[in-house]
């Protein structure tokens, strides 16, 4: 490696100090002694003691200041420009990192210059051995909607342990070389806390890069823990399809058939909830609820329960 810093971890935060503590504690515990890391955390107007906690860590983290209006895209773009690493790792604070998560991702990133964004397997919280998959890459349905591959399946699913090329991966934990990120002009700040990661992946593909999932890298991800996370969902979706609707490959059936996996395996309760979510009056009420901490916690609970329909 030719840089003073191998990898810059970028983490935007706003409140939820308990999640940030747990995430950083797991990061400190799993950091490799052979990989030179720096950790950048941008606080966006927290009022729950988050900033004081970050400052108490001293030189273990570089603390940047944002504002209450900073989005995921804007925060990461600012941190990327300040980062000293040759590679960047976008990391949500509602994650818990497991031993050995860094090396497989960096190994894929270093395979060849054509590698774009590298993601990993993310698991819902739970007891070891019975946890369910939250993300094993992103695939697209027949109507070109992005979905997390094998969500709800058991963590021992062999198809989720494969390192391979994907159209896209989530930025809850993803790596990209800094030069490539800057070449692509980073995240598009037109997206407000949604679809900016898939947009980046598709722009990377259009520029000739291949996105990958590192099947040997695993973390725990609570998912959508920030109040207001879904407030701009409709606008983000419209913008996404305006940009990419004509180039997306509906690959869900191709990927699952190639893996020999019957997915999605959904219970009747999951299907009912999804149907209700698509009903405009109910969606309007639920989206207002999602602007609150209680609403996001209820959503997490529902996702974890409903995803237990995997075979």
Cα dihedral 207, 102, 121, 194, rounded to 10, equals: -50
Is 172 part of any domain? yes
Structure tokens that stand for 178 in this block:
């800094």
Separation of alpha carbons 159 and 281, rounded Å = 38
Burial annotation 83-99 (CB, 10 A radius, 16+ → b, else e): bebbbbbbbbbbbbbbe
Residue 109 — φ and ψ, nearest 5°?
-60, -35
Is 61 part of any domain? no
Q: The whole model's pTM is what?
A: 0.87
Report the pLDDT value the prediction gives residue 2, as an integer from 0 to 100: 42
Residue 53 — φ and ψ, nearest 5°?
-65, -45
Report the pLDDT value the prediction gives residue 229, as an integer from 0 to 100: 52
Is 66 part of any domain? no
Report the pLDDT value the prediction gives residue 264, as an integer from 0 to 100: 79
Is 208 part of any domain? yes
Separation of alpha carbons 71 and 192, rounded Å = 6
Q: How many CB atoms lie within 10 A of CB 189?
A: 16
Question: What does the pLDDT profile of the chain (311 residues) look like in tens digits?
Answer: 445 899 999 999 999 999 999 999 999 999 988 999 999 999 999 999 999 999 999 999 999 999 988 999 999 999 999 999 999 999 999 999 999 999 999 999 999 999 999 999 999 888 887 888 999 999 999 989 999 999 888 899 999 999 999 999 999 999 999 999 999 999 999 999 889 999 999 999 999 999 999 999 999 998 755 554 556 778 899 999 999 999 999 999 999 999 999 887 666 666 676 677 677 787 677 666 655 656 655 655 665 555 554 44
Is 277 part of any domain? yes
**Burial (0-12, 13-18, 19+ Cβ within 10 Å), 57:** middle
Determine contact, residues 226/118, Cβ cutoff 8 Å: no
Q: What is the CA radius of gyration of the chain?
A: 18
81: nearest Cα among 60, 64, 93, 57: 64
Tell me the pairing of strands 37-43 and 5-13.
parallel
- The domain tally of the chain equals 1
Separation of alpha carbons 37 and 6, rounded Å = 6
Is 216 part of any domain? yes
Is 53 part of any domain? no
Report the pLDDT value the prediction gives residue 10, as an integer from 0 to 100: 98
Q: Diameter of the chain by CA atoms? A: 55
Report the pLDDT value the prediction gives residue 6, as an integer from 0 to 100: 96
Is 117 part of any domain? yes
Determine contact, residues 133/160, Cβ cutoff 8 Å: yes
Separation of alpha carbons 189 and 167, rounded Å = 21
Report the pLDDT value the prediction gives residue 285, as an integer from 0 to 100: 74
Q: Which residues contact 14 (CB under 8 A, 6 or more apart)?
A: 43, 44, 45, 46, 50, 68, 70, 226
What is the extent of the structural domain holding 179? 94-306
CATH of residue 122's domain is 3.90.550
């Amino acid at each position: 490696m030719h840089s003073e810093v191998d990898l810059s971890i970028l983490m935007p935060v706003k409140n939820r100090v308990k999640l940030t503590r747990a995430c950083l504690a797991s990061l400190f515990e799993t950091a490799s002694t052979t990989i030179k890391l720096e950790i950048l955390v941008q606080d966006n107007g927290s009022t729950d003691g988050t900033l004081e906690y970050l400052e108490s860590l001293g030189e273990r983290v570089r603390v940047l200041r944002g504002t209450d209006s900073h989005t995921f895209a804007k925060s990461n773009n600012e941190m990327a420009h300040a980062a000293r690493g040759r590679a960047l790792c976008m990391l949500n604070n509602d994650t818990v990192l497991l031993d050995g998560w860094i090396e497989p991702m960096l190994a894929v990133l270093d395979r060849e210059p054509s590698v774009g964004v590298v993601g990993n397997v993310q698991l819902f919280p739970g007891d070891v051995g019975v946890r369910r998959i939250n993300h094993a890459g992103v695939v697209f349905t027949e109507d070109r909607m992005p979905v997390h591959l094998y969500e709800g399946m058991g963590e021992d699913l062999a198809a989720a342990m494969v390192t391979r090329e994907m159209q896209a991966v989530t930025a809850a934990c993803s790596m990209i070389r800094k030069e490539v990120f800057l070449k692509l002009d980073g995240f598009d700040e037109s997206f407000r806390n949604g679809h900016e990661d898939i947009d980046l992946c598709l722009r990377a593909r259009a520029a000739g890069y291949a996105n990958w999932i590192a099947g040997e890298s695993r973390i725990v991800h609570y998912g959508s823990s920030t109040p207001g996370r879904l407030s701009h969902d409709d606008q983000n979706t419209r913008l996404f399809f305006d940009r990419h609707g004509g180039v997306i490959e509906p690959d869900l059936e191709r990927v699952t058939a190639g893996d020999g996996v019957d997915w999605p395996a959904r219970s009747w309760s999951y299907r009912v909830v999804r149907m209700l979510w698509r009903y405009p009056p109910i969606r309007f009420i639920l989206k207002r609820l999602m602007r609150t901490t209680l609403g996001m916690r209820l959503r997490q609970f529902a996702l974890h329960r409903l995803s237990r329909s995997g075979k």
